[in-house]
Amino acid sequence: MSATRRVAVVAGGLSSFGVRSATWSELVQEAGHAAFGNIRNFSSKDVDSLFVGAAQPERLAFQSHVAPLAAELLGFEPWKILQRTELACASGQSAIRSAYAAISAGLSDVAAVVGVEKMNLPSMAEANTSMANVLDRAWDGVHGATAPPFFAMCAQRHMLEYGTTAEQMAMVSEKNHRFANTNPSAQFYSKQFSRDKLLKLPMVAPPLRLGDCSSMTDGAAGVLLVAEELARKYTDTPVWIRGTGQHSSFHNLSGAGSLSTWPGLKAAAQEAFRSAKLAPQDLDLAEVHDCFTISEIIEYEEIGFCAKGEGGTFVQEGQSDLGGKVVVNPRGGLLGCGHPLGATGVAQAVEVFQQLQGSAPPARQVPGAELALVHNLSGSANVHSLMIYGREN
CA distance 250 to 381: 9
Assess 32 for contact with a copy of itself (CB under 8 A): no
Assess 29 for contact with a copy of itself (CB under 8 A): no
Catalytic residue among 158, 177, 339, 384: 339
Q: Which of these ranges, 29-37, 239-247, 303-311, 332-340, lies near a copy of itself under the rule CB under 8 A?
A: 239-247
CA distance 154 to 143: 17
CA distance 225 to 307: 35
Active site residue 89: yes
Q: Pick from 63, 165, 237, 316: which binds a copy of itself (CB under 8 A)?
A: 63
One symbol per residue from 350 to 379: x for binding a copy of itself (CB under 8 A), - otherwise; what is it?
Answer: ----------------------------xx
Q: How far apart are the first and last CA of the chain?
A: 23
| Residue 214 near residue 28, CB atoms below 8 Å | no
Binding to a copy of itself (CB under 8 A) within 206-235 occurs at 227
Closest CA to 85 of 51, 114, 45, 123: 51
Catalytic residue among 89, 154, 306, 337: 89
Count of residues engaged in binding a copy of itself, rule: CB under 8 A = 70
Q: Which of these ranges, 30-38, 134-142, 217-225, 287-295, lies near a copy of itself under the rule CB under 8 A?
A: 134-142
| Residue 288 near residue 386, CB atoms below 8 Å | no
Q: Pick from 20, 31, 36, 86: which binds a copy of itself (CB under 8 A)?
A: 86
Closest CA to 293 of 146, 144, 128, 175: 175
The angle that helices 147-162 and 293-303 make with each other, rounded to 10 degrees, is 60
Q: Pick from 2, 123, 190, 281: which binds a copy of itself (CB under 8 A)?
A: 2
- 162, amino acid identity: Y
Compare residues 157 and 251 and give the one whose CB is closer to a copy of itself.
251
- Residue 142 has a CB neighbour count (10 Å cut-off) of 12
| Residue 261 near residue 371, CB atoms below 8 Å | no
Q: Pick from 19, 37, 41, 72: which binds a copy of itself (CB under 8 A)?
A: 72
Q: Identify the sign of the CA torsion 204, 165, 171, 284.
A: negative
| Residue 301 near residue 154, CB atoms below 8 Å | no
- Cβ 284 to a copy of itself, closest distance in Å? 25
Binding to a copy of itself (CB under 8 A) within 303-342 occurs at none
Q: Which residues bind a copy of itself (CB under 8 A)?
A: 1-5, 23, 25, 50, 55-56, 58-59, 62-69, 71-72, 76-88, 94, 97-98, 100-102, 104-107, 109, 130, 133-138, 227, 244, 246-252, 255, 267-268, 271, 378-379, 382-383
